[in-house]
Amino acid sequence: MSVIEVTGLRKSYGGRPVVDGVSFAVEEGEIFGILGPNGAGKTTTVECVEGLRIPDAGRVRVAGLDPVADHEQVARVLGAQLQESELQAKLTVREALELYAAFYPHPADWRPLAERLGLTAKLTTRFAKLSGGQKQRLFIALALIGGPRVVVLDELTTGLDPRARRDTWQLIEDVRASGVTVLLVTHFMEEAQRLCDRIAVIDKGRVAALDTPSGLIRRSAGSTVISFTPSAPLDEGDLNALPALASVEHKDGRITLSGTDETVNAVITLLARGHITAHQLRVSDATLDDAFLDLTEVTS
């Protein structure tokens, strides 16, 4: 069942289209990612989902409700952590949780929520004294305190150090495990590949691709990468004739080939035939970074 449906969404500012015909659906219980470069239209898209902006055209539904016309009802089923969030500096964690809980007729009990997010020891700490990771934990708690069916997390880990980012990833997985659908907006490829069940890649206001992370990677021109330093020179014509070859790079005597498993098998055969040793041989799958670059280059 789709808990979010976006169809033909359009939004312009000053006559310039920022979101240009975006369509996708988020299924109940999944982590759905919106991935794209800065300025691609990601945040404007989710702000229309949240009811914070009025679309110029298209249709948006959250649990069957219009985020603008039915804003009060949508606020009870959708929680949100905005791209830029701040609280009053002297507000304590406890005060923030109690304040936000007062906004809802049937809020979640903030005490176990604070415990689950590791905030119990910080209840008397003022917002200004929290670390970046602690602030993000608090914003997740505030997004969940209304007991939503779906939560929107926009650039949640921007500015966090690697450890705090990975801790936050675990929190997001815990949120989904508790039965809440997650709409995650990010420009971190590793984050999207690690967390998301499906991803919509948005570039220049349009959906460039929509698939699972592995599906997007398979679309990459070179889904497998092999690199090595040959013990003797290889003929360039032989390299370029390799099947399913996407690219060849030479750097400091090392050769890097992008292609498929067929390419890997063929280059190994080529090396064996020429009695050439492949020093420091590495074979790896392409990443979401590779797929993203291919997809956004296609739409450029």
Tell me the mean pLDDT in the region 59-87: 92
Domains 2-211 and 218-298 share a fold: no
Inter-residue contact 42 to 185 (CB < 8 Å):
yes
Pick the CATH number of 218-298 from 3.40.50.2000, 3.30.70.980, 3.10.20.340, 3.40.50.620: 3.30.70.980
Residue pLDDT, tens place only, 211-249: 998 888 877 655 788 999 999 999 999 999 999 898 899
Tell me the mean pLDDT in the region 155-182: 86
Q: What is the dihedral of CA 206, 140, 190, 297, to 10 degrees?
A: 10
Hey, what amino acid is at 121?
A
**Does residue 28 have a pLDDT over 70?**
yes
By the 10 Å C-beta count (0-12 exposed, 13-18 middle, 19+ buried), 204 is classed as middle
Instruction: Return the domain boundaries, the chain.
Output: 2-211, 218-298
Residue pLDDT, tens place only, 86-134: 899 999 999 999 999 999 888 989 999 899 888 999 999 999 999 888 8
Phi, psi at residue 221, to the nearest 5°?
-60, -35
Inter-residue contact 150 to 78 (CB < 8 Å):
yes
**Does residue 61 have a pLDDT over 90?**
yes
pTM above 0.85, yes or no: no
Would you identify the CATH topology of the domain 2-211?
A: Rossmann fold (3.40.50)
pLDDT of residue 298: 47
Q: What is the DSSP letter of 162?
A: H
Q: Quick one: tokens of 54? A: 């009025």
Residue pLDDT, tens place only, 265-300: 999 999 999 999 999 999 987 778 777 777 775 444
The beta strand positions in the chain, using DSSP E, are 2-13, 16-27, 31-35, 57-62, 78-81, 150-154, 181-186, 198-203, 206-211, 224-230, 247-251, 254-259, 278-285
pLDDT of residue 50: 95
Summary mean pLDDT of the chain: 90
pLDDT of residue 222: 59
pLDDT of residue 129: 96
